[in-house]
């Protein structure tokens, strides 16, 4: 699990993290031996939760008898604007969505995210991704 976590963090443009491990007791990611709650703000924890779930899903799909082969992630970028930065790191936004798109090549992946949190440099229509938005009382509207 630790190898998968480190690989995903690197590919996802996470700031230098040194060593990520998977705590078998806490069943959660640890960065440099610290629990994420101690060492990271809300937005980074949300990001790390998404990476941890992707790593766990990858591990299960490679090793388990029963493989769900799909993943649903809710608001992976929620709260990413940390107090000490004016803007969340756009490369992290881009990086995690690149991880999602890479995962989509093999497994169904559903990501629920606020439109204003999406990376501005990815053309989701060009990448053949279904984008569905919710518009007030009108319900769900599929964007083409």
Mean pLDDT of 112-133: 81
Whether residue 15 contacts residue 41, with contact meaning beta carbons closer than 8 Å, is answered with no
pLDDT confidence of residue 85: 47
pLDDT confidence of residue 24: 86
pLDDT confidence of residue 140: 60
CA 106 – CA 54 distance, rounded (Å) = 13
Instruction: Read off the tokens for 64.
Output: 């388990």
The full set of domains in the chain, from first to last, is 2-143 (3.40.50.300)
CA atoms within 13 A on the CB side of 48: 24
- Checking 23-31 for CB contacts under 8 A at 24+ apart, the result is 28/52, 29/5, 29/55
Per-residue pLDDT tens digits for 14-56: 887 778 999 888 889 999 888 888 778 788 889 999 999 999 9
Per-residue pLDDT tens digits for 48-107: 999 999 999 999 999 999 988 889 999 888 877 644 444 556 788 899 999 999 998 888
User: Is the pTM above the cut of 0.85?
Assistant: no
pLDDT band at 143 (very low <50, low <70, confident <90, very high): low
pLDDT confidence of residue 44: 87
């Amino acid at each position: 699990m630790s190898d998968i976590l480190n690989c995903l963090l690197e590919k996802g443009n996470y700031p230098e993290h040194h060593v990520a491990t998977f705590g078998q007791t806490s069943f959660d990611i640890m960065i440099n031996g610290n629990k994420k709650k101690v060492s990271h703000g809300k937005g980074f924890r949300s990001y790390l939760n998404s990476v941890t779930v992707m790593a766990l899903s990858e591990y299960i799909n490679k090793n388990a008898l029963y493989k769900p082969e799909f993943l649903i992630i809710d608001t992976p970028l929620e709260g990413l604007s940390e107090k000490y930065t004016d803007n969340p790191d756009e490369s992290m936004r881009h990086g995690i969505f690149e991880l999602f798109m890479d995962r989509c090549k093999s497994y169904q992946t559903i990501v629920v995210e606020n439109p204003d949190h999406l990376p501005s440099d990815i053309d989701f229509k060009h990448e053949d991704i279904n984008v569905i938005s919710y518009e007030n009382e009108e319900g769900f509207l599929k964007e083409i």
